[in-house]
Amino acid sequence: MLRGEADLGVLIHEGRLTYERDGLSLVEDLGASFERLADAPIPLGGILASADLPEGTAETVTAVLRDSIAYGWSHRDEALATIRRYAQEMDEDVIWPYVELYVNEHTVDLGDDGARALAVLEQTARAAGVVGAGAAPLRIVG
């Protein structure tokens, strides 16, 4: 789009925060649309585990992930070094808002809003035929 090769596109990652700076115009924010229609935050990602794992495994992984996130928030300089290795945008004025968009209170504890968002996503996927009718319902751990 920036090179003029397309009329429309979908922005992801840091592009959601930098499109205006790059001279692009917003037509529709799909995340905001989901949040408005679902009355819940958009589930941007997740860790999935097989229901066949031994008892307690998912809970252990959840605890390790929570500890890792807490460590990252407590050691921002260390985290920044890792982020810079993978970031498309290197400006800290973009990096931290981006991280805070994706790593927030719902990352550590979905809460009622997060659980409702996943329920809406699951219902939508089932209605669209993306998830088979016989598939087990979503189970939230942690």
CA atoms within 13 A on the CB side of 96: 5
pLDDT given for residue 75 in this prediction: 94
Q: Is 75 a catalytic residue?
A: no
Question: Which parts of the chain fold into alpha helices (H)?
Answer: 15-18, 30-38, 57-74, 76-86, 92-102, 105-108, 111-127
Where is pLDDT greater, at 40 or 56?
56
Per-residue pLDDT reduced to its tens digit, 21-45: 888 998 988 888 888 888 888 877 7
C-alpha 73, offset from chain centre: 17
Stated pTM of the model: 0.66
Which pair of structure tokens corresponds to residue 125?
A: 């996927």
The label of the residue with tokens 């990602």 reads 45
pLDDT given for residue 6 in this prediction: 83
pLDDT given for residue 52 in this prediction: 86
Question: At 96, which amino acid appears?
Answer: W
What is the rounded distance in angstroms from the CA atom of residue 74 to the CA atom of residue 61?
20
Residue 30: strand, helix, or coil = helix
Per-residue pLDDT reduced to its tens digit, 62-114: 899 999 999 999 998 898 888 888 877 678 888 888 888 878 888 888 888 88
Name the catalytic one among 9, 10, 13, 47: 13
Which pair of structure tokens corresponds to residue 81?
A: 């070094």
Label residue 134 by pLDDT band (50, 70, 90): confident
Spell out the residues 6+ positions from residue 110 whose beta carbon is closer than 8 angstroms to its own: 117, 118, 140, 142
